[in-house]
A and B are shown apart, each in its own frame.
Chain A
Amino acid sequence: MADASTPLGKGSGGSPAGPLPAAPHGIAVAEPTHAHHPKLQHHFYSMEQQLEASILAMWVFLVTEIMFFGGLFMAYIVYRTMYPQAWLDGSAALNVPLGAVNTMVLICSSLTMVLAVRAAQVGSRRGQVVNLILTILFGTTFLVVKYFEYSNKFEHHLVPGPHFSTQYLVEHLGRTGADPYTTQLFFSLYFIMTGIHAAHMVVGIGLMSVILFMAWRGRFTPDYYGPIEVSGLYWHFVDIVWIFLFPLLYLLGLHGGHGA
């Protein structure tokens, strides 16, 4: 996205010695003669520039988010390589059907999110409101399922700390070799990774509620829909993180390699 031309895309190309932009009045002074859109902030030249800036900003922000989760994935890779058996044993305690349901739920929420953005672009207020409500509902469903999964782990003493025990793994799942130390590492990473992801979901639902309110008030029009598009990018990002978390945490036993 690194464009070498000027923000307005007119005048000189990349070369410093290139031809000068046309007469000054062509650019700088002409802008205010447009009808000044009420949503145009004072320091932008045009609605296009404003939209492009906010989209680039969200991408840059998502890069920082990728790096943020990247540290966790790094820890995951290192420890999984060191203790593959603990990963298999720990993974066996995770509920694959619930994880799969949540994956479907998030994929559906991404679809409704896209439809909401589309509705804004074509100017359908009803489409925005309905799809945003669905998105929020899907997000909430995800968190409810996650709640049941977490409480199940608490019941089985699979939360790292002084009460951690591999008893459930050994007696109910037949993971006789489950190591009480390294499986704690697995569950530490499980709770941190899914927990931080869930925190992002909570932020996302909050964000969507604000967007829903704005959409309901009819704030978005085909020439001003930046906030809904940018929030959508965030929502998709959070979904994609889950698409990685699900197989990496839940599906370890499914490709053979039942050790011990």
Chain B
Amino acid sequence: MHDTAKDRQSYLDAPYGVAAWLLTRDHKRIAMLYLISITIMFALGGFFATLVRVELLTPRGDILTADLYNKAFTLHGVIMVFFFLVPSVPATLGNFLIPIMCGTKDLAFPRINLLSWYLYVIGALITLGVIASGGLDTGWTFYTPYSTIGSQTPVTAAALGVFVAGFSSILTGFNFIVTVHRMRAPGLTWFRLPLFVWANYATSLVMILGTPVVAITVLLVGFERTLGLGVFDPKLGGDPVLFQHLFWFYSHPAVYIMILPGMGVISELVAGMARKQIFGYSFVAFSSLAIAILGFLVWGHHLFVSSQSIYAGMVFSIISMLVAVPSAVKTFNWTVTMYKGSVSWESPTYWVVGFVGLFLIGGLTGLFLATLGLDVHLTDTYFVVAHFHYIMVGGAIMAFMGGLHFWWPKMTGRLYPDGWGKASAILVFAGFNLTFGPQFILGYMGMPRRYYAYPDEWQVLNVLSTAGASILGAGYLLTFCYLTWSLFKGERASDNPWGVTGLEWQTTSPPPTFNFHTDPIVTEPAYHYKQVPERETTTIG
């Protein structure tokens, strides 16, 4: 059916050159394009975080001006949320792995997948344009009426950037949903799917249901600034709090867009590194869906002190509490999966253990904020900042890094130095805790968010936090260095270096353009370990 020599060629070697990459329809190449783009945006977002932390070394506002500081935290938020965290796992690891895990040649709509990347790039370029023309100072939340009547910065352009990037994530989610429904290989029933696919499926549901709402919301802000169609203008009787409802209707579920794929990564890594069937497969799978659904019903917990009805507050509080249950179910299942496993202490395991610790703290501190009375004191303080960084950085980015270390040999065909992988996991874990741990205390002391000058008594904790951030930054930089090094000098990876199950490990490293040499047929549930699978694939179909 195919020319075997051409068939065996990896997706990296097959037609080469700039045009071949920029016009590719191969989901693996698009994943790599995304990986490069989000790395650039991560560096940029990190740069703005550095500005913030440096300013906060001293209680006086002395290093940046107030306006510059406001722009720094705004751009840090906008870039990290919309241009790094939302696309991080789905658009890179998800794009690369979902078709392979489904045993198919590509996503259902390869051209739309490419379009999604181009939309992302356009959105990112618009945002870079906003930075070049002076930056944005509304906070990543674009709260009205400051964003409509107060701010002198290019809010409309920034809103357009977010709008376009939103469509890129809608298209990714849409492609995943159709692929998982319609493209699975023969024998691959829903309950044989790897949990990574389940998690990304749940994420995709959130993407297609939530993103359009934030798209229309930022569009309304743009209309209000440019055309004077005042939907949120209090002078016309408009309600600024309605903006908050519409914004958080997306942006709270967006948190689950960021963390659910990370949870999927961790499920794969725990099962793989312990070479064991995941404990309570269906509970882990359905907890992803439960989180996705509950995630849509809790947005009001951002508005407990916004003048929202107190009874609405109670409903949102109790539903927010319920999110703790599926999260706890997942955590306990991962933990118990290691019981009587065969746990390998290679570097992905370090990232997994780090993830479990940080995600645990991030999730548990969410309970403080969901508790109505306590939230009155804690909301809009550094407690919130610390909490969501534990989820987004400690959870989502640790998982992303773990996934990158696990699948790197498959994606690039190269091995990175394992020792450096462990070292950077430890560095990131330690630096992270030092950065955000003190912020919980600052928050309970009452330090408000988005302050660039603060009372003297809080300096010690802020200095600790900045010190931690420099360690954290060094950890990420180290990862970047040895992963890049491995692309050129790394040892060639075998087809299945970890000795684990999964369709992606049954093809060559890196996989051929159409993923498999023979169309796969699935006959076993996921994570079915009787013995260690073959390390090398037999390439003749």
Contact = CB atoms under 8 A, between A and B. Distances in A.
On whether A and B touch (CB less than 8 Å), the answer reads yes
A83 B242 CA distance: 14
A161 B519 CA distance: 61
B228 interface: yes
B189 A188 contact: no
Interface in B135-183: 170, 174, 177-178, 181-183
Nearest to B528: A16
Interface stretch (A26-34, A141-149, A169-177): A26-34
A24 B104 CA distance: 15
A191 B178 contact: no
Contact of A6 (B110, B186, B212, B238): B186
A75 B237 contact: no
A15 B228 CA distance: 57
Nearest to B522: A21
A64 B214 CA distance: 11
Contacts of A2: 181
B236 A21 contact: no
B363 interface: no
A8 B186 contact: yes
B231 A68 contact: no
A181 B229 CA distance: 12
A56 interface: yes
B185 to A, nearest CB: 8
B191 A60 contact: no
Interface string A127-165: 000000000000000000000000000000000111000
A61 B108 CA distance: 14
A99 B223 CA distance: 24
A149 B34 CA distance: 45
Contact of B215 (A11, A68, A185): A68
B189 to A, nearest CB: 6
A17 B208 CA distance: 32
A49 interface: yes
A60 B230 contact: no
Given A16-B525, A20-B523, A60 B227 contact: no
A257 interface: no
Interface in A1-47: 1-8, 10-18, 20-21, 24, 27-29, 32, 42-44
B238 A185 contact: yes
A64 to B, nearest CB: 5
B183 A7 contact: yes
B106 A27 contact: no
Contacts of B213: 67-68, 70-71
Contact of A11 (B177, B187, B209, B249): B187
A1 B181 contact: yes
A63 B209 contact: yes
Nearest to B229: A188
A6 B230 CA distance: 50
Contacts of B210: 67
Contacts of A72: 216
B105 A42 contact: yes
Interface string A42-62: 111000010011001100110
A82 interface: yes
Contacts of A223: none
Contacts of B235: 181
A1 B182 CA distance: 10
Contacts of A43: 104-106, 108, 110, 183, 514
Interface string A64-82: 1101111110110011001
A192 B245 CA distance: 19
A185 B238 CA distance: 7
B192 A60 contact: no
A63 B177 CA distance: 12
A182 interface: yes
A82 B239 CA distance: 10
Contact of B212 (A1, A42, A57, A65): A65
A202 B514 CA distance: 38
Contacts of A98: none
A189 interface: yes
- Kindly list the 3 A-B residue pairs having the minimum CB-CB distance in the complex, ordered from nearest: A68-B212, A161-B228, A43-B105
28 contacts: A6-B185, A6-B189, A7-B181, A7-B182, A12-B187, A15-B191, A16-B525, A17-B525, A28-B518, A29-B519, A42-B105, A43-B183, A60-B178, A64-B211, A67-B211, A71-B217, A71-B246, A75-B242, A182-B236, A182-B237, A184-B230, A184-B236, A185-B236, A185-B238, A188-B229, A188-B236, A189-B231, A196-B216
Interface of A: 1-8, 10-18, 20-21, 24, 27-29, 32, 42-44, 49, 52-53, 56-57, 60-61, 63-65, 67-72, 74-75, 78-79, 82-83, 86, 160-162, 179, 181-182, 184-185, 188-189, 191-192, 196
